[in-house]
Amino acid sequence: MGVFPDAALRQIAAAFDGRMGWHIEDLATGQVHQHRANERFPTASVIKIAVLVELFHQAEAGRLSLDDRHRLRGDISTHGSGVLQIARDEPELTLRDYARLMMGISDNIATDFLMGLLGLDQINATLDRLGCANVRAAATMGRYHYRMVGMDEMPTMRANDAVYRERVSTQGLDYGSVSFGDSLENNVAAPGELASLLAAIYRGQVVSAEASKAMIELLKTGRDTRMIRCYLQPDVVVAHKYGSSGIIKGDAGLVFLPNGPLVVVAFALACSDGPAAAEAIAQVARLAVEALAPECVVDNDS
Largest CA distance in the chain: 56
pTM assigned to the model: 0.95
302 within a domain of the structure (yes/no): no
What pLDDT is attached to residue 77? Answer: 74
Query: With bands split at pLDDT 50, 70 and 90, how would you rate the model's confidence at 87?
Result: low
H/E stretch holding 170 reads helix 158-171
Kindly state whether residue 237 falls inside one of the protein's structural domains. Answer: yes
Residue 294 has pLDDT above 80, yes or no: yes
**Could you tell me if residue 170 is inside a domain?**
yes
User: What sign does the dihedral 268-261-213-92 (CA atoms) show?
Assistant: positive
Check which CATH number belongs to the domain holding 202 and give it.
3.40.710.10
Residue 299 in domain = no
Question: What is the domain range of residue 262?
Answer: 6-294
Q: Per 3-state DSSP, what percentage of the chain is helix, strand, and coil (rounded to 5)?
A: 40, 20, 40
Task: Dump pLDDT digits (tens) for 112-151.
Answer: 999 999 999 999 999 999 999 999 999 999 999 999 999 9
Q: 92: how many CB neighbours lie within 10 A of its CB? A: 11
Per-residue pLDDT band for 277 (boundaries 50, 70, 90) equals: very high
Region for 30 from its dihedrals, namely left if φ exceeds 0, alpha if ψ lies in -120 to 50, beta otherwise: left
- CA 170 → CA 149, 173, 274, distances in Å? 10, 10, 19
Q: What domain count does the chain have?
A: 1
Asked whether residue 300 is domain-assigned, the answer is no
**Average pLDDT of the chain, as a whole number:** 94
Judge whether 1 lies within some domain. no
Is the C-alpha dihedral spanning 47, 51, 57, 61 positive or negative?
positive
Domain annotation covers residue 171: yes
The answer to the question of residue 233 being in a domain is yes
Q: How much is the CA Rg of the chain, to the nearest whole Å? A: 19
